[in-house]
């Protein structure tokens, strides 16, 4: 049974994304749900990322990232890019490099390319804010995958306390 | 017809929230969609807000805010709290003060109370990051309103350029 706090946080509506990174040589990507638009002018997105992941140094080094929007039937792709420890997460995936060099997934419903404008503390994560320098809607006919619909795919429920009282 | 860039950004999945603020005396609230969780430990949310709104100084003064999650049938409530220039947005609304003093809407599907931990630049907005100090799921039986389903309720489409090429 999910605890009350995990259920409460499921009421924050989120999509599911594959964030692509590169340091100019290596390329990788990871699944993320904590993504929002943050500005109109310029157009900007923010992504909250785990600074201890093996891929974060790539983002930090190039100060660029891509955000690939997964479609509702792409939960397996979310699971794949959410699996830690794979030697090459992009192996067997159809992708190409964006103008920043970050991987763009040909299967994604849409993608954005971003240049980092700031990285800010956010508890056990870092909030990466980026100016959107490119983007493309690849498929108008399918809806985005919602994080809520992935259930406990990523095992995140264990990270919520049973109660909000400290 | 919506332009391509506005359509692209609609693929970022977002909910619709009423952010409640107080300076200890006055209380107000405004509609926001750019909200995401950003940390597990401690539990934190981020909200991107317009620093030129009349209500932002209240948030800045108390360094607290509430996030009320609207349900799928509450588009009128979203419209109400998104209307600028109302003398008292909370008039005629059933609300009570949270422990921070910020307004919590009795009709909301769920609410969170947050203490600000940082306010960061994000283009034409400010990204307010807050530690979640309280929260309650008031109605398990309805789904959250999604920003996508509000169409162009807030007139935001005009803020998107026709193309991402600068």
Give me the residue spans of the domains in chain A.
14-70+104-147
Q: What is the pTM of this model?
A: 0.96
pLDDT in tens, B19-75: 999 999 999 999 999 999 999 999 999 999 999 999 999 999 999 999 999 999 999
Q: Looking at residue A5, what is its pLDDT?
A: 96
**Yes or no, beta carbons of A122 and B39 under 8 Å apart:** yes
- Quick check: B140 pLDDT over 70? yes
**Yes or no, beta carbons of A164 and B37 under 8 Å apart:** no
**A63 pLDDT band (50/70/90 cuts)?**
very high
Which residue in the block uniquely carries the two structure tokens 């799921």? B137
Q: Calculate what percentage of chain A has a pLDDT beyond 70.
A: 98
- Quick check: B3 pLDDT over 80? no
Task: State ipTM.
Answer: 0.96
**Yes or no, beta carbons of A127 and B129 under 8 Å apart:** yes
Among B95, B12, B107, residue whose Cα is nearest residue A46: B12
pLDDT in tens, B72-106: 999 999 999 999 889 899 999 999 999 999 999 99
Mutate to test the interface with B, among A2, A5, A12 (most CBs of B within 10 A): A12
Q: How far apart (Å, rounded) are the C-alpha atoms in residues A114 and A129?
A: 9
Peptide bond into B110 cis (omega under 30): no
In sequence order, which ranges of chain A are alpha helices (DSSP H)? Answer: 4-9, 56-62, 75-81
Q: Looking at residue B2, what is its pLDDT?
A: 55
Q: Looking at residue A1, what is its pLDDT?
A: 43
**What would the mean pLDDT of A20-25 be, rounded to a whole number?**
96
Q: Looking at residue A165, what is its pLDDT?
A: 74
Peptide bond into A135 cis (omega under 30): no
Task: Write down the mean pLDDT value for chain A.
Answer: 95
Which residue in the block uniquely carries the two structure tokens 């309280």? B134
Nearest chain A residue to B116, by CA: A122
HSE-CB at B102 with a 13 A cutoff on CA atoms is 29
- Quick check: A2 pLDDT over 80? no
Peptide bond into B42 cis (omega under 30): yes
Architecture of domain B16-94+103-140: Roll (2.30)
pLDDT in tens, A79-104: 999 998 898 999 999 999 999 999 99
**What would the mean pLDDT of B110-115 be, rounded to a whole number?**
98
Nearest chain B residue to A70, by CA: B11
Q: Is B129 within 8 Å of B67 (Cβ atoms)?
A: no
Q: How many CB pairs under 8 A join A and B?
A: 173
Identify the burial level of A156 via C-beta atoms within 10 angstroms of its C-beta, where 0-12 means exposed, 13-18 middle and 19 or more buried.
middle
CATH number of A14-70+104-147: 2.30.110.10
**B1 pLDDT band (50/70/90 cuts)?**
very low
Nearest chain B residue to A35, by CA: B36
Residues of B in contact with A1 (CB under 8 A): none
Which residue in the block uniquely carries the two structure tokens 């909030």? A127
**Yes or no, beta carbons of B46 and A42 under 8 Å apart:** no
Among B41, B33, B126, residue whose Cα is nearest residue A117: B126
Q: How far apart (Å, rounded) are the C-alpha atoms in residues B98 and B58?
A: 15
- Quick check: A166 pLDDT over 70? no
Q: How far apart (Å, rounded) are the C-alpha atoms in residues B118 and A7?
A: 26
At residue B60, the 3 state secondary structure works out as helix
């Amino acid at each position: 049974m999910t605890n009350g706090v995990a259920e409460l946080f499921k009421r924050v509506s989120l999509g599911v994304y594959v964030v692509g990174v590169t340091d100019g040589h290596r390329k990788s990507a990871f699944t993320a749900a904590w993504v929002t638009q943050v500005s109109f002018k310029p157009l900007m997105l923010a992504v909250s990322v785990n600074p201890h992941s093996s891929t974060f140094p790539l983002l930090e080094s190039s100060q660029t990232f891509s955000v690939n929007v997964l479609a509702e039937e792409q939960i397996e792709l979310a699971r794949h890019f959410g699996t830690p420890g794979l030697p090459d997460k992009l192996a067997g995936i159809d992708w190409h490099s964006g103008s920043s060099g970050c991987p763009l997934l040909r299967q994604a419903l849409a993608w954005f390319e971003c240049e980092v404008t700031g990285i800010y503390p956010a508890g056990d994560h870092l909030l990466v804010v980026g100016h959107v320098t490119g983007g493309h809607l690849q498929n108008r006919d399918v809806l985005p995958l919602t994080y809520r619909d992935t259930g406990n795919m990523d095992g995140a429920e264990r990270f919520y306390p049973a109660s909000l009282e400290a």
